[in-house]
Structure 1
Amino acid sequence: MKVESEYIAAGGNRHPSSADWATGLLAFGAGNNIALWNPDSVQNEGINALLSGHTDSVNAVKIWDISADRFLISGSSDKTIKIWASSENKSSPFREICCLEGHENSVNTIAILPEKGIFVSGSADGKIKIWKFSGSETKLAQTISLKPRILPLTTAITLLPSGQAILALAGTSSVIQIFTQSATNDQFELQATLTGHEGWIRSLDFVQETVGSQSDVLLASASQDKYIRLWRLRKGTQAPVDASEDPTLAATKSSLSNKAYQVGDDGAKYTITFEALLIGHEDWIYTARWMPRTDLTVSPSLLSASADNSLAIWAADQASGVWVCNARLGEISAQKGSTTATGSTGGFWIGLWQPDARSVVSLGRTGSWRKWTHDQTNDMWMQQIGISGHTQEVQSIAWAPDGSYLLTTSSDQTTRLLAEWKRDEINTWHEISRPQIHGYDLNCIDSLTRDRFISGADEKLLRVFNKPKAVDYLLSKLSGVESTNTADLPDAANIPVLGLSNKAITAVEDDENAKDEADANGYEKEAVDPASVLHKSTLELDQPPFEDHLARHTLWPEHEKLYGHGYEISAVAASHDGSVVATACKASSLDHAVIRLYETKEWREIRPSLASHTLTVTSLAFSHDDKYILSVGRDRQWAIFARSEGTLSDYQLVHSNPKGHSRMILDCSWAATKAGLIYATAGRDKSVKIWRLDQNGTECILTIPADQPITAISFEPGMKDDVIRLALGLEAGDVTVVSLNKDATQLAESHSLDRSLCPSKAITSLRWRPECASGHLQLAIAAEDFSVRLVNIKA
């Protein structure tokens, strides 16, 4: 059995230090993993691999090239620093070679100085550690306890033109501490404390201004006070007086300079003075990064990322020397629709330059990366295709009945639609739509038809959504999916202010404006906000939508709400013909552990509810002919409900096993076989049990043991070569595909997926793709490590 990775989706961590971009590789923290992505790839294939090893959120990532070797250094909330070396393994391009455990709390920042072979780590334990790194070994050189005790959030280290190393650090205070390395004992010593900011400092970065040993060095500091301060390090002990032709300007600069700080050894003293205050952002500033320059005769530029949803590029005006904003990228935060509900706000947490400075990327609150490339012909920054992914545990996934797209839902309160982008001979997967952006954690999802799905959340009710014309057009244009009869579909949807329900809206032609509503007497009822008017041309794309489009224009309008449950929804399943929905909620008593059925024509509840369980029902499944409903729960029992003859929705309890497993049962699945009705149950007792249902009742015909609890299972929808395939997802993230004989009485083969293809935390859901056109099998995997994976299996 040959298994290959087809697609990986994972959202980036919201930490300003958690990403770095070097030639051909952008590495970023994605939950407790490190995601590897090449933004320069012309094929736009997205994340290449996820490196697993950390047990908690990755907060800091740096790429270090030594000769022909490439290393990654990562710091995490698990208190460790890991060093990774490049390898030849395609599915895992880096291997862990070292784990450093010196810190006593979360590692929040890492800075590297390749010229001296050292890197610096800062932790929430209030300590800075200096490490010597040669590629083959790592040694702790120095530990600095910060006094007064602050939690370092950012560090920057560079060489002064004199050859001396200088370290800047800042964090949960408004000052910047400057350390220089002593020439006698190589220890870093505190030499200056820069004041001026009025909030926590989130980012520091050094740059050499020009060529030569007499060059000044600039330090940029970005703060939660909404300002960026630039500091100049100049050789000598006297602060230079700016003898500008304009005496007013000189006086202003002098008054802003505060005081001169002296750093360095006796042989090479440097003076630090305040250079400029960059004003323009309207919210906290998370990162400030100097543009990489191969030619030091070019003036330096600075990229800043802020919570005001914008990136700004700053440069000194050649004539006056005044620092100005040359370009601003991102969103207009005041625009209607840019609310927390639509996931647009929360700002940009990271801004990075491409190594050759032709492109920039930013990471937003929704975990999505956006990319802009500079068009030199028109001197404009043009947005390019980025990548996206969930930022919390992925709880459930569901394929469209025809396999044309995959729906995923997560504790990050979003539902996402993933589909192929087919062009020429290239097929890549992308997020095509974000149907649901919610105010509650989402727990379960299932497709009713190709144009409708249902999801359940912590809000105790279920919501049904219809596909809009905008998404139908995208799937048809990009994925080659046959278009639905769109006459009955709404154009698009939006979320009203202070609302949770997606409302259908009508798009207008480009030369039209939306008409204001009027009551029966002709008086104006409500003026239409021009910013909320949606033009049809906005919805007609020839490539996967950008992040701002996903959050605003690809929502699905809500069709129905289903009430009845008293606690958070735990499971939902739709019949294969889409006529019945079965749902369950979290429960600790018989009263709430019922399964509620709803018919989908009038959306009425079918009473009475189905009772058998005494605790939470964890999974539901309809048999392939919809005659039976299988349920499993935390009370260790499974139950089967059969449909009464001559009815479509009247189900009655026919079988149950109060001791189906020795511990709670977590998932179940029906098999499509020629040997009668076969189903499987799996649970925390580290076993899968295969059962046969016939006229005489039920019997366990096979038990498959595992070395850890089994959290998800899924039978392949059809039978190939008289073989029944079952995918098992385990608590540690391992995935195994087992093959059974046609009677499901014997285990014919077992294949464990390579560890590099598997998630690093518990599997939450497994789903085989129905009707895969490529000829081989495809398995979708959702996990608690925030990732969604699609693997190709060639038997």
Structure 2
Amino acid sequence: MDGVKVDFIAVGGSRNPAAADWDTNGSGLLAFGAGNNIAIWNPSDLNYKGITDLLAGHTDVVNVVKFLPTTGSSKIRILSGSADKTIRLWESSFDAPLQFQELETISAHVSSINCIAIVPGFHGFASGSADGTIKIWRFTEENASVGEVDLVQTIELRPKYIPLALSLAVLHDSSILLAAAGTKSTIQVYVSSSDQFTQVASLSGHEGWIRSLAFVSETDDERGDLILASASQDKYIRLWRIHEGEELPAISSAASDPALGLLGRSLSNKAHRFQTASSKYSITFEALLLGHEDWIYTAAWRKWHGKLQLLSASADNSLAVWESDPQSGVWVCIARLGEVSAQKGATTATGSTGGFWIGLWSPSGDSVASLGRTGSWRLWKREDSSDMWSQQVAVTGHTKEVKSLTWSKNGDYLLTTSSDQTTRLFAEWKRDDGSRSWHEFSRPQIHGYDLNCIDTISDTQFISGADEKLLRVFDEPSAVAKLLARLCKIQRSAEISLPDAANIPVLGLSNKAIQAIEEHEVLEDNKRDEREAPDPASVVHKSTLDLDHPPLEDHLARHMLWPEREKLYGHGYEISAVAASHDGSIIATACRASSIDHAVIRLYETKDWRELKPPLKSHSLTVHNLRFSPDDEYLLSVGRDRQWTIFQRDKDDQSTYRQAAMEPKGHSRMILDCTWAPLMTDAKVFATAGRDKKINLWRLGQNNATNYHTITSSSAVTAIDFLPDEVDGCIVLAYATEEGALAICAFSSSTPFLKEDAFEKAISPSSTVSRLNWRPRRHGEDGANSHLAVASDDGSVRLYDVPIKNWLKPSIEALGDW
């Protein structure tokens, strides 16, 4: 379909230390694994467009992403490795940096790809896999323009260990040095000879798995020493010096200095010697970097004003910048970024919620980016004038399947919910200069169960259902309301009284309302036992909530929760569907079921949050979705039993619904979704979609409904939604499939089918679409373009700008001529 644009993509990063890279060849792009896809982001973009593309091709989680050196070339190339056992080569050009094409798929490994190493000067790369091998590859063509690569060597490591980290370096005589490590505490060093690598050293000293290796040249002199940094799960970083010549470097004797006492004697200073065709070298232990309190996942070098600096990322929720003291030569931490110890909470030993998995230098060296355990990125920029690091706006997103989404009643913001056990609020940041961009502005619910469904009750209230058999209702706090008003120009009614903020008590699942106080205030709590330590999360200062930019990950995880209003009980199994009436007075819910007793639809009124009994019985298996008609007169349900049912509201008792129509064989296989068309004068129209690859359109009569049109798809139809308003007398339906394909159809009053068009595959999700939702038309909009929000099992939330009027215009004109 022509003219469709992707306005926004939200997706979280893969939690693998090698799953991201920042291009140093001039494009400024940062690529990272996001589930089965590769996300492309430009962190230095002043317009904050965020993720601009998702490269689809891998069939399992992407573990490794590396930009290939392309000095002097007009191409941008990426190597990616995945749990699907393949390595893929992608290419784009500087003229069109967001149009990557897959050049080649390499399938020589027989297990998950864990690491890839590249280096300028080596016309190839090394790959390490869970199959216990390292494979050495060389490009067939000098410029690798056709993407062909040849396997030149396989190094067997099993049963010794599985490689998790690789690094390559070029020696001055053009020999290549390879360091490899992984599920063992030693580092294997190989050197190339006649295009084959031979092991020359085994470096011991670490006491845990080694997660990252990085070579760097100490000076710009081509005959200068190399330094190898190794980061381990033993919480330490070790530095190793590779020196040319028979004599050992003077600094290597530092470890035997008696001033170091017992620590010095425990550090091995053994020299490992090897030689290439023309030179002799030694490898000696250089330094031990202490300071992290948990596993260290990545280590990355940069040269800054003639100095070497090392960036490390750890599960202790911190990044550290290390530098050698010019006087003593001792390596010290000169900057620490992230979270202070008192706030970080649990770590790896208890299944932590925090931790930094990746740390990257920017190409210019004045910024660092880090991926946290929540799948969100943090970005820091160094200010030369103050020598301080300030955190910048970065990208966030879900890390698992996005199960449902819904717009607020007036379309101001989008709520999404996922199997990653979070609910997220996305809205448009509107700046004074007229520029706009979408961001996550709140994380209303951080839960202990997978979240399955969500709907908005009003502009300040929503309800969600999870695997815990009950539903929870949340109210918008004033902190979020003020932030949305200030940055997104979303105004709220002055009459609504909102709580300040919310937090989750220790060992709790319910968000509790808390009070925001001034910096100098102390929250009175006369009832608290003095022997109990105060919960720092129970208090938030107003200044913390007063932001002039979208919330950073620290704010989202701690201060942007919504307090819980109510719990709704009654179901015996996991919640599968929820719907709120358009007037916000009735909630309809259903749960997973294998019998008619549990496949009931329960109704709740929102005034006193009472269940309206008896529950509605019709289905015999799980109800997949529920939808109220635009006027709330009817409630439509579809389910696993292939049946749809319509319940009609009692004219005298507005809280009572009774069965009005039913079709026990609405589809030949289970029905997955349903939707109502905008109200029309002649009849009410609704649609159902099923695993039988069909969408059936139904016209509701007095006591039944007739199927007046069927749309056939190439795969199971998993999500459908009608545009809430007519466009030039036509109704528009969007649908999506199990394979991620998206399409829209149009119907007019004079013909049951007018037009159908599919979205380009390049901008469509790579996996099953779980929910579609058109954005309600807001005041002042002409309806020329419409926004379609899409939730997918590939972990992404996508927002499309669809030119509905231009798309319909030729067909409507042709219909008029006819």
Category of TM-score, reference length = shorter chain: over 0.9
Cα-to-partner distance string for 1:534-580 (whole Å, 9 max, x where unaligned) = 11111111110110011111000000000111111000000000000
Contact in 1 for aligned 2:76/2:97 (Cα 8 Å): no
Q: Is the 8 A contact 2:255 2:265 kept in 1?
A: no
> In the aligned structure 1, how far is the partner of 2:708 from the partner of 2:186?
69
Cα separation, 2, equivalents of 1:337 and 1:421: 31
Q: Is the 8 A contact 1:58 1:77 kept in 2?
A: yes
How do 1:412-491 and structure 2 match up within 5 A? 412-423=420-431, 424-485=433-494, 488-491=497-500
Preserved contact between residue 713 and residue 765 of structure 1 (Cα < 8 Å)? yes
Shift of 1:246: 11
Aligned positions of 1:49-88 closer than 5 A: 49-66=53-70, 67-87=73-93
Counterpart contact for 2:346–2:354, Cα < 8 Å: no
Verify the 8 A CA contact 2:231 2:298 in the aligned structure 1: yes
Find the partner of 2:274 among 235, 247, 263: 263
Verify the 8 A CA contact 2:294 2:347 in the aligned structure 1: no
The corresponding residue for 1:239 is: 248
* Cα deviation, residue 588, structure 1: 0.7
Q: Give, in whole Å, the separation in 2 of the partners of 1:444 and 1:255.
A: 57
Whole-angstrom CA distance in 2 between matches of 1:254 and 1:614? 73
Using a 3 Å threshold, how does the CA distance of structure 1 residues 241 and 526 change in structure 2: closer, same or farther? closer
Q: 1:705 to 1:87 in 2, by over 3 A?
A: farther
Q: Give the match's secondary structure for 2:190.
A: strand
SS in 2 for 1:482: coil
Distance 1:235 1:89, change over 3 A: closer
Letter in 2 for 1:556: W
Give the one of 513, 516, 520 matched to 1:511: 520
For residues 348-387 of structure 1, the aligned pairs below 5 Å read 348-387=356-395
* Match runs of 1:569-718 below 5 Å: 569-674=575-680, 675-695=682-702, 697-718=704-725
Distance apart, 1:524 and its partner CA: 5.4
Q: Distance in 2 between matches of 1:180 and 1:236?
A: 16
In the alignment, what sits opposite 1:754?
760
Within 5 A, what are the aligned runs for 1:266-345? 266-291=277-302, 298-335=306-343, 345=353
- Summarize the Cα distance change of 1:326–1:344 in structure 2 as closer, same or farther, 3 Å threshold: same
**Is 1:402–2:402 an aligned residue pair?**
no
TM-score by length of 2: 0.93
**1:18 lines up with 2:19 in the alignment:** yes
Task: Tell me the distance in 2 between the aligned counterparts of 1:208 and 1:459.
Answer: 55
- The structural deviation recorded for 1:244 is 7.8
1:546 aligns with 2:585: no
Distance in 2, Cα, partners of 1:102 & 1:534: 54
Partner in structure 1 of residue 508 of structure 2:
499
| CA spacing shift, 1:72–1:101, aligned 2, 3 Å | same
Of 136, 143, 157 in structure 1, the residue corresponding to residue 168 of structure 2 is 157
Pick the aligned partner of 2:34 from 17, 30, 35.
30
Please, which moves more after superposition, 353-362 or 79-88?
79-88
* Structure 1 stretch displaced more, 382-391 or 134-143: 134-143
Relative to 1, partners in 2 of residues 1:247 and 1:337: Cα closer, same or farther, differing over 3 Å?
closer
2:796 to 774, 787, 790: 787
Whole-Å separation in 1 of the counterparts to 2:696 and 2:463 = 29
Distance (whole Å) between structure 1 residues aligned to residue 446 and residue 493 of structure 2: 24
Any idea what SS the aligned residue of 1:476 has? helix
Count the aligned residue pairs.
785
AA of the residue aligned to 1:421: W
> 1:416·1:436 contact (CA, 8 Å) conserved in 2?
yes
CA contact (8 A) 1:336 1:531 kept: no
Report the Cα offset of residue 514 of structure 1: 1.4
CA apart distance, 1:626: 0.5
**Equivalent of 2:731, from 720, 724, 727?**
724
Deviations 1:692-750 (A, max 9, x none): 0022521001000111110000000000101110001111101001111136x522111
Cα drift, residue 765 of structure 1: 0.3
Partner of 2:183: 172
Q: Note if contact 2:579-2:626 (Cα within 8 Å) is conserved in structure 1.
A: yes
SS in 2 for 1:475: helix
Displacement after TM superposition at 1:92 (Å): 4.9
**Mind listing any 5+ residue stretches in structure 1 that lack a counterpart?**
none
1:382, CA displacement in angstroms?
A: 0.6
- Corresponding residue to 1:123 among 124, 129, 133: 129
Specify the code of the residue in structure 2 equivalent to 1:686.
K
Q: CA deviation at 1:61?
A: 0.4
- Could you tell me how far apart the structure 1 residues matched to 2:273 and 2:422 are? 52
Aligned equivalents of 2:90, 2:131: Cα separation in 1:
24
What are the Cα deviations for residues 320-379 of structure 1, in whole angstroms up to 9, with x where unaligned?
Answer: 000000000001242287799x99833000000001100001000111000000011111
Q: Report the alpha carbon displacement of residue 213 of structure 1 after superposing the two structures with TM.
A: 3.4
The 1:309–1:246 alpha-carbon spacing in structure 2 relative to 1, beyond 3 Å, is closer
The 2-side partners of 1:247 and 1:593 are apart by: 75
Amino acid at match of 2:224: S
Counterpart for residue 141 of structure 1: 152
Distance in structure 2 (CA, Å) of the matches to 1:667 and 1:530 = 44
The DSSP-based 3-state class of the residue aligned with 1:387 is coil
Secondary structure at the counterpart of residue 403 of structure 1:
coil
Secondary structure at the residue paired with 2:17? coil
CA distance in 2, matches of 1:262, 1:527: 57
Distance apart, 1:256 and its partner CA = 2.4
Counterpart amino acid of 2:591? C
User: In 2, distance between residues paired with 1:90 and 1:597?
Assistant: 53
Do the aligned residues in 2 keep the contact of 1:513 with 1:533 (CA within 8 Å)? no
**Which has the higher mean CA deviation after the structures are superposed, 498-507 or 532-541?**
532-541
> Residue deviations 1:386-440, cap 9 Å, x none?
1100000000000000000000000000000000000021110000000000000
Deviations 1:622-666 (A, max 9, x none): 001101100000111101111112122101111111110000100
Report the AA paired with residue 104 of structure 2. C
Matched position secondary structure for 1:334: helix
Q: Conserved in 2, the CA contact under 8 Å of 1:442 and 1:457?
A: yes
**CA deviations over 1:71-109 (Å, ceiling 9, x no partner):** 110000000000001058969520001000000000011
* Selected match of 1:736 from 743, 746, 765: 743
Instruction: Give the superposition deviation at 1:516.
Output: 3.1
Whether the 8 Å CA contact 1:669–1:681 is kept in 2: the answer is yes
Deviation at 1:113, TM superposition (A): 2.4
Tell me which amino acid in the other structure corresponds to 2:769. I
User: What letter matches 1:47 in structure 2?
Assistant: I
Q: Deviations over 1:119-148 (max 9, x none)?
A: 111110001111112412211111111154
Per-residue Cα deviation, 1:453-497 (whole angstroms, up to 9, x for no partner): 000000010000000000000110011011333662100000001
| Counterpart-to-counterpart distance in 2, 1:241 and 1:378 | 36
Shift of the 42–144 alpha-carbon distance from structure 1 to 2, 3 Å rule, reads same
Q: Secondary structure at the match of 2:184?
A: coil
Q: Which runs of 5+ in 2 are unaligned?
A: 805-818
Residues 1:292 and 1:685: Cα distance change in structure 2 (over 3 Å):
farther
Distance in 2 of aligned mates of 1:343 and 1:624: 45
Question: Once the 2 structures are TM-superposed, how far is the Cα of residue 248 of structure 1 from its aligned partner?
Answer: 3.9
* 3-state SS of paired residue (1:291): strand
Distance (whole Å) between structure 2 residues aligned to residue 80 and residue 529 of structure 1: 48
* Local SS of the residue matching 2:486: helix
Deviates more, 1:483-492 or 1:390-399: 483-492
